[in-house]
Amino acid sequence: MATVTGRGSVALVEQADRDDCGAACLATVTGEPLAAVKAAVDVPTPHAQLEAYLESHPIANDLVTVRERPTVGELARQSAPFARSMPFDRRTLVLTVASPARTVDWHAVVFDRGRVLDPGEHFDRERLFSTPCIWASEVYPAYDDPQ
């Protein structure tokens, strides 16, 4: 079960099947129905399509520079990869991380202001922060003022 701490206002959209974690995360951060997201992207969703979907959506977003697969905890201690300066626990991120399943390369989760929103219920905060991060995009939901 995903750990819920901190405060945020995006609502978790759970996966409907094994391979739609990326689409579920896009639905979580944009507020779009999962079916609508899945109609717009492939499932499983490649990183390029995750990025393109966010870029085509009105929600403000910035790609995060992830190099050498740092753990999420290591990424949290860095400032250079992020376009805007703020504490990590105030960020809303779509992350792809090393999958807990041996047959899958990565799994997508949302980190929302200290909360781990995992559409597949694999990660709590402790496990997420010790897992290698592969790709990330920061989004700025309506409760954020991106300036």
Domain positions in the chain = 21-140
Between CA 122 and CA 1 the distance in angstroms is 7
How many residues are present in the chain? 147
Strand order across the beta sheet in which 115-117 lies: 60-64, 133-140, 92-98, 106-112, 115-117
Instruction: Considering only residues 147 and 59, tell me which one the structure prediction assigns the higher pLDDT.
Output: 59
Q: In the CATH scheme, what architecture does the domain 21-140 have?
A: Alpha-Beta Complex (3.90)
Between CA 4 and CA 124 the distance in angstroms is 8
What pLDDT, on a 0 to 100 scale, did the predictor assign at position 146? 46
H/E stretch holding 39 reads helix 34-40
H/E stretch holding 63 reads strand 60-64
Whole-model pTM above 0.85?
A: yes
Express each pLDDT in 5-35 by its tens digit.
Answer: 335 579 999 999 999 999 999 999 999 999 9
Compute how many other C-beta atoms are within 10 angstroms of the C-beta atom of residue 111: 29
Express each pLDDT in 60-91 by its tens digit.
Answer: 999 999 999 999 999 999 999 999 999 999 99
